Chain A
Amino acid sequence: MKCNRLVDAGRRQFLRGGLVATAGAAAGTMMPERAEAQSALARVSYPANRLANIADLTENEPLDVAYPDERSPGVLLKLGQAVEGGVGPDGDIVGYSVLCPHKGWFLIYNSDDRSFNCPGHYSRFDAEAGGQQIWGHATNNLPQFVLRVDGEGEIYAEGVDELIFGRLSNTL
């Protein structure tokens, strides 16, 4: 019950706040604008889930996880060098949804060039660049998990930065 109320409150705020509050600021320039900061009020409340411990990760080998719930498959990756959105002592641990944001096919990780590849319609996402779509049909870059690592090396996910395929709210 409590959870549902939160969802509704968020949705109302979302309608007031607009889809992406900063999009209009792009007028008159061709510089990409970024929206993170100003749409915070519209976010759903995410659970803080423990996904793994750093000790469970081997460099460049994806570890299957699920977040924000067991029906949303994802992976954790330790990349060996600091990257966008990376956490942990080396700033190199990232987590992504592995449902292609085009039509929801399962992405396959290619460890040679550290990309996620979609057998559905050939889209590709860069694991080292925040899930940026290298080429493809999705209109989102790959949803990335917001991660935190505690003193014990436990890795928690606490948010997602894009809408996950197959759900109209990231938390169901």
Chain B
Amino acid sequence: MTYKRQVDRLPIIPADATVHNSVCHYCIVGCGYKTYTWPMNKQGGTAPDENIFGVDLSQQQPQDSNAWYAPSMYNVVRQNGQDVHMVIKPDQDCVVNSGLASVRGARMAENHPSDVTGTQGHRLTDPLVWRYGTYNPTSWDDALDLVARVTARIVVENGEDDLVVSMFDHGGSGGGYENTWGTGKLYFESMKIKNVRIHNRPAYNSEVHATRDMGVSELNNAYEDAQLADTLVAWGCNPLECQTNYFLNHWIPNLQGMSSSRKAELIPDEDHPRARIIFIDPRRTVSINAAEQAAGADNVLHLPINSGTDLALANAIFTYVADQGWVDTDFIESHTKAEAEPRPALFPARGETDAEPGHLTSFQDALDANRMSIEEAAQLCGVPAEDIVTAAEWIAMPKENGARRRTMIGYEKGVIWNNDNYRTNGAIVNISLATGNIGRLGGGCVRMGGHQEGYVRPSAAHVGRPATYVDQLLISGNGGVHHVWDCNQYRTTLNATEFKRIYNRRTNMVKEAMDAAAGATREEQVEAIVNAIRQGGLFTVDVDIIHNEMGQRAHVVLPGAQTGEMNLTSMNGERRMRLAERYMDPPGRSRPDCLIAAGIAQHMERVLREMGEDDYADQFTGYDWETEEDAFMDGYHRNAHNGELVTYDRLRALGTNGFQEPAQRLEGETIVGTPRLYADGNFSSEDGRARFMAGPWRGLATPGKEEERARYPFLINNGRSNLNWQNWYLDQENDFVTDRWPYPFIEMHPDDMEARGLGAGDLVEVHNDNGATQAMVYPTETARPGETFMLFGAPRGVQGNIVGSGTNELIIPVYKQTWADIRKISDRPSVADGISFKSKEFRF
């Protein structure tokens, strides 16, 4: 049965409802929303003067009307202790999304907790402590005292390297400038924690070290550039599903020819031919289908390359473009490094050190090193040579009137979580630099992004590079205390089968010690915990909004607030910074993460003084924040580039459009930002010149992958779905979502299904040497035989279970390259009855 809400009317927003600026926190795009709240005993009416829209709601509203909201956009929540009606709907005046809501953002309202409507009943409301063999709610003081006592003992007696931290580093939900600062100050200023990792990878590192080393920040253009480009390149990304409204509101209009007047206005002396788009992806995605609808199939090129061969393709395109003389010589001479750097001793196999797996140098040197023929690339990548030539032409062949082609490249996890991350990232940036397409209207070479960004922390230089492989450190029995902030390694790490096995054992040792010391004093309890740690146990503190699998292994669980339940600032994929205002109370006694970090620091200070560690205790001062705004002022305002120009009041005045970071100056009280980076040709390097990357193809570079490919019949490519993208933590409690995906799907070609005796919806085990997981078969005509695609990070089937421990030099996981076998577990389970297994592609 298909899930129906059976809601056939909604309360009307009254004309005098309170309006809050909101930004969707679910993905990098950061769509603007407005949140309306009003008292329970009031409601608007259908007459124009009785509702916020000023329209007659007794009439059917037209297509695209702003005066409609879906049931998922409505909820009843607590605000300053009172129940209120709340509607969160997309803001038509926000330049990011122009009133579009995605299937995720449109569920923000129903994905908040409500005692009245019963939504998100799994949200944490109180600190929990493992006590009497189970989790018991307690006060903040009790919970933080235990956290501080155990943590202080370990860092004093064993050193700070025995405190291991998993923490977010991004914006939006479970992040934001306030919270990255609060946690960053605790772990990088009060302490110097080295064994730290990020939510989706086992180390504290950039996913795009290469572009940064080349002097090119990864978010260098404006969303409008996607409307101005002659050619768009989607490299290892699936923008319709993962950056939905960016794609729908900026890419699609260009592909439809609807941005031509804007092109003529901003770029008057140039031809503006019909826009084209290139997709580089082993899989045919719905983005490709949508682009064909919008641009016509003739203007869409899909290169379905073999998994992990992006580097060969990029180097071939770079070579061809250079050989044709389609490079921007003026740009290269003026803005990139002129002299070749001496090649490292072990080049081309290796870079100077493991921290630099490529070689930063001049255009000519990179060209010489990377040279790859079209024919060789065609062979390696498994695509026709003429298609690679077409791609090179679309990217760089001058336009008819001789003007240089404006090409924007967007890349994401298909490149990042894939073979030879560093060199591949560099090879893509090489193409944009060589063609002068960075800092230019209609250009840019950008990562598409996952979460929004919101990073301001004290220096993390002490972490080093390559950073510690934290999961391996925990697996090998090191570390004594683990602080976890909004991370769930049980769902989103590699080598997850082994990780969970060891993590269960180590945290259980501490649970057993706590159980055995039931009834003991706090001092005796701490002694018992420390003893268990000395025997290989792990004491875990989990900060999160729900009691997830990590939390269920933890000994103390601390409840956080999320966007809308606190004021939160972040920037989106074009560096657009907004203040997402608080519109409701956090559930129960939950708190913003920055204030939780402050609480830990304050308790650490007290406990350390009790221990006679006064000097150390002094390092834990400076956390007397009352609100998240205090953390913002201490962090972003004082530390971000030109952060002193930015305040909550000024951001509030800029509404959902905000400004693009970095702030440049004030005009009156209005912050003036930076639409594009490098418009002046001054790159992020010591001499202001960008570097090219010499990084030739070197096969599958991740340990274990070549063997795995040889051994198993199926590629288990993996990624996200439009329906819930990175929202699983909330969507596992959202009926609309679990009705559609009760299990993660695995897309398989019908021939592969037949060979394994599988029907649509059958439950299968996907297994290899690393472990096993499960998924529901989704027949997919467009899948290549032998290549499947599995939904990542799902609660009922963790893809990471079957990913080996091998990473590249910089400890970036290679989730995309997983090979395994598939066997049937059962016929379609009852929860999958009634699920549609039709093609996901739009069909006329």
Contact = CB atoms under 8 A, between A and B. Distances in A.
A132 B57 contact: no
Interface stretch (B99-107, B490-498, B697-705, B810-818): B99-107
A34 B838 contact: no
Contacts of B6: 20, 35-36, 39-40, 42-43, 161-162
Nearest to B64: A103
B89 to A, nearest CB: 11
Contacts of A43: 6, 8
Nearest to B240: A122
Interface in B810-844: 831, 834-836, 838-844
Interface string A1-39: 000000100110011001111111111101111111001
B521 interface: no
A119 B290 CA distance: 10
B118 A22 contact: yes
Interface stretch (A48-56, A74-82, A138-146, A149-157): A138-146
Nearest to A141: B2
B244 to A, nearest CB: 7
Contact of A139 (B12, B118, B736): B736
A31 B831 CA distance: 7
Contacts of B64: 103-105
A109 to B, nearest CB: 10
A129 B835 contact: yes
A128 B2 CA distance: 10
Interface stretch (B374-382, B710-718, B737-745): B737-745
B353 interface: no
A43 B9 CA distance: 8
A113 B839 contact: yes
A113 B838 contact: yes
Interface string B730-771: 001101101110100000000000000000000000000000
B286 A122 contact: yes
B785 interface: no
Contact of B732 (A22, A30, A169): A30
A135 B106 CA distance: 15
A28 B12 CA distance: 32
Interface stretch (B72-80, B171-179, B321-329): B72-80
Nearest to A168: B10
Interface in B50-71: 57-65, 68-71
Interface in A105-125: 105-106, 108, 110, 112-113, 115, 117-124
A11 B57 CA distance: 15
A131 interface: yes
Interface in B1-21: 1-12
Given A110-B843, A130-B834, A140 B58 contact: no
How many B residues are at the interface, by size bracket?
35 or more
Given A30-B742, A161-B4, A140 B60 contact: no
A137 B101 contact: yes
A147 interface: no
Contact of B60 (A26, A72, A120, A163): A72
Contact of A163 (B8, B736, B738): B8
Given A30-B742, A163-B71, A129 B834 contact: yes
B293 interface: yes
A119 B836 CA distance: 20
A169 B62 CA distance: 15
Contacts of B76: 18-19
Given A39-B7, A122-B286, A135-B286, A84 B62 contact: no
B121 interface: yes
B191 interface: no
Nearest to A142: B2
B753 to A, nearest CB: 18
Interface string B278-295: 000000001001100100
B522 interface: no
A166 B1 contact: no
Contact of A24 (B57, B121, B293): B121
B36 to A, nearest CB: 13
Contacts of B843: 110, 112-113, 115, 117, 124
B647 interface: no
Contacts of A128: 836
Given A32-B735, A32-B738, A113-B843, A104 B68 contact: yes
B257 interface: no
A128 B835 CA distance: 10
Nearest to B733: A26
A117 B4 contact: no
A23 B735 contact: yes
A162 B61 contact: no
A118 B843 CA distance: 9
A160 B70 CA distance: 15
Given A35-B4, A165-B68, A167-B68, A129 B844 contact: no
Nearest to B721: A135
Contact of B68 (A105, A160, A168): A168
Nearest to A68: B8
A27 B7 CA distance: 21
B106 A137 contact: yes
Contacts of B10: 163, 168-169
Contact of A140 (B5, B722, B732): B5
Nearest to B41: A15
A136 interface: yes
A40 B69 CA distance: 21
Contacts of A32: 3, 735, 738-739, 742, 831
Given A31-B831, A162-B5, A140 B63 contact: no
A131 B62 contact: no
A132 B248 contact: no
B796 interface: yes
B287 to A, nearest CB: 10
B11 A15 contact: yes
Interface-central residue, A15, A39, A44, by most chain B CB under 10 Å: A15
B611 interface: no
Interface-central residue, A24, A43, A108, by most chain B CB under 10 Å: A24
A130 B6 CA distance: 13
Contacts of B838: 113, 115, 124, 126, 134
Nearest to A99: B63
A31 B738 contact: yes
Contacts of A135: 286, 722, 840-842
Contacts of B4: 34-36, 130, 140-141, 144, 161-162
A86 interface: no
Given A27-B733, A43-B8, A132 B2 contact: yes
A122 B248 CA distance: 10
B488 interface: no
Contacts of A123: 842
A129 B834 CA distance: 6
A36 to B, nearest CB: 5
A119 B63 CA distance: 12
A158 B161 CA distance: 68
20 contacts: A19-B74, A19-B119, A23-B735, A27-B733, A32-B742, A33-B735, A72-B60, A104-B65, A110-B844, A129-B836, A131-B2, A132-B740, A137-B100, A139-B73, A141-B2, A141-B3, A161-B4, A167-B61, A172-B58, A172-B59
Given A24-B119, A126-B838, 18 more contacts: A11-B9, A15-B40, A18-B116, A19-B71, A19-B75, A20-B71, A23-B118, A25-B118, A35-B735, A36-B6, A103-B63, A104-B68, A135-B286, A137-B100, A137-B722, A165-B61, A166-B61, A168-B10
> What 7 A-B pairs come out closest when comparing CB atoms?
A24-B118, A130-B2, A139-B72, A169-B9, A27-B121, A71-B60, A122-B842
